[in-house]
């Protein structure tokens, strides 16, 4: 069985925000460092998937505490829930897929990306997500998805955008694909039961689907751009303006964390047991995303152009430079 990622950090799912606490810079109090000096408590809204492993690994390695930051990670199920939490001050920082951040900015939501989160590993046939079909499906490649139903976790977001691009690049008509919104964990059953013709998913859903005989026919992230920046950490423009020192310290610590995780993939795998229910028997088989310490602006411009072509920005193309640089 091929290795794949636990999930898509970038999954934007609509649900109510979860409770969290603010940092001392935002008026919520401070923690203490090991030497007794005051540390800033910072709350980060995250999705508990493999993509955020560098954050937890960096905390363990002391990259944040050495900069006077005391982290609290609060789990949500997607960027759509985390974004309003960051804007309201519920979280000081959050993790979201890049399309969700673009959509937010075109709607006037005051957010600013501050550091990279995760990217495609660039391997067609073994990337962090894939489109799977049943073993006996007549669908052989992406172009065959035209006229068929494809499950994505959230409509009009990064999933259907990159799937359309895979269809387009393979010579099919992306406008003929019918997308159906289904949670990742329900996709294997929906695919196996014939509710959909194909499903765009990552782990652990992909492993379940493959055990049922499913086969992968497209790798939308890698096919869209092998260096595609999938998700980033972000803050509110208000916090960025009022407390640039806090943002700078978080960004520096996260950058060091990304570099460490990239250089120590086994440690990145093992840290998953600290915040997920993944068993040791699964961890060794997971495909990790790429964790570059900088966003790839060219890939984000491409993603924005594709989203504009698909009409998900309501007629206003996001300013990628303003949001991510």
**pTM attached to this predicted model:** 0.85
Count of residues making up the chain: 325
Q: For residue range 145-170, list pLDDT tens digits in order.
A: 999 999 998 889 999 999 999 999 99
Q: Is the pLDDT of residue 14 over 50?
A: no
Q: For residue range 91-113, list pLDDT tens digits in order.
A: 999 999 999 999 999 999 999 99
| 52, 9 contact by CB (below 8 A) | yes
242, 312: one domain: yes
Last residue of a domain, one of 199, 224, 249: 224
Domain assignment present for residue 190? The answer is: yes
Q: Which stretch of 62-66, 137-141, 146-150, 308-312 has the lowest confidence by average pLDDT?
A: 308-312
The residue with greater pLDDT, 121 or 80, is 121
252, 285: one domain: yes
Structural domain count of the chain: 2
Q: What CATH number has the domain bearing residue 80?
A: 3.40.190.10
Last residue of a domain, one of 224, 251, 278: 224
- DSSP state, residue 185: G
Class of residue 317 by CB neighbours under 10 A (exposed 0-12, middle 13-18, buried 19+): middle
Which phi and psi (to 5°) does residue 70 adopt?
Answer: -110, 105
Percentage of the residues of the chain whose pLDDT score is greater than 90: 70
Domain assignment present for residue 244? The answer is: yes
Respond yes or no on whether the N-terminal peptide bond of residue 280 is cis (omega within 30° of 0). no
Residues 69, 63: Cα–Cα separation, whole Å: 9
Query: Residue 10: its pLDDT value, please?
Result: 34
pLDDT band of 28, cuts 50, 70, 90 = very low
Averaged pLDDT for residues 4-16: 35
232, 97: one domain: yes
198, 142: one domain: yes
241, 93: one domain: yes
- Name the residue range of residue 103's domain: 24-120+227-324
195, 246: one domain: no
Q: Which stretch of 22-26, 239-243, 250-254, 308-312 has the lowest confidence by average pLDDT?
A: 22-26
Q: Is the pLDDT of residue 26 over 50?
A: no
The pLDDT mean for the chain works out to 87
Q: What is the DSSP string of 4-70?
A: B-S--TT-----PPPP----GGGTS-EEE-TTS-EEEEEEEEE-SSGGGHHHHHHHHHTTTGGGTEE
Query: Residue 220: its pLDDT value, please?
Result: 97
Q: For residue range 217-243, list pLDDT tens digits in order.
A: 999 999 999 999 999 999 999 999 999
Q: Can you count the helices (H) and strands (E) in the chain?
A: 13, 11
The residue with greater pLDDT, 34 or 72, is 72
212, 74: one domain: no
């Amino acid at each position: 069985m091929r290795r794949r990622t636990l999930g898509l950090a970038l999954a934007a799912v609509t649900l109510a925000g979860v409770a969290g606490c603010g940092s001392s810079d935002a008026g919520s109090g401070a923690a203490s460092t090991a030497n007794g000096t005051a540390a800033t408590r910072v709350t980060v809204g995250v999705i508990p998937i493999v993509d955020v492993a560098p954050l937890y690994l960096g905390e363990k390695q002391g990259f944040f505490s050495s900069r006077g930051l005391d982290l609290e990670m609060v789990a949500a199920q997607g960027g759509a829930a985390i974004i309003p939490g960051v804007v309201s001050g519920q979280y000081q920082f959050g993790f979201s897929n890049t399309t969700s951040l673009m959509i937010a900015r075109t709607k006037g939501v005051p957010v600013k990306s501050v550091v990279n989160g995760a990217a495609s590993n660039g391997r067609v046939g073994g990337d962090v997500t894939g489109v799977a079909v049943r073993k006996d499906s007549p669908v052989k490649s992406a172009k065959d998805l035209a006229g068929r139903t494809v499950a994505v976790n959230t409509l009009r977001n990064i999933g259907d955008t990159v799937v359309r691009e895979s269809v387009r690049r393979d010579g099919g008509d992306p406008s003929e694909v019918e997308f159906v919104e289904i949670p990742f964990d329900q996709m294997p059953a929906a695919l196996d039961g014939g509710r959909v013709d194909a499903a765009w998913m990552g782990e652990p859903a992909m492993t379940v689907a493959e055990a049922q005989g499913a086969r992968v026919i497209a790798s939308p992230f890698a096919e869209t751009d092998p260096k595609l920046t999938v998700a980033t950490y972000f803050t509110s423009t208000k916090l960025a303006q009022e407390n640039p020192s806090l943002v700078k310290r978080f960004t520096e610590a996260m950058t060091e964390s990304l570099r460490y995780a990239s250089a120590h993939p086994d440690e990145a795998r093992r840290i998953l047991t600290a915040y997920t229910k993944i068993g040791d028997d699964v961890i060794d088989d997971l495909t990790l995303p790429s964790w570059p310490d900088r966003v790839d602006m060219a890939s984000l411009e491409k993603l924005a152009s594709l989203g504009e072509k698909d009409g998900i920005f309501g007629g206003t193309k996001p300013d990628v430079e303003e949001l991510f640089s």
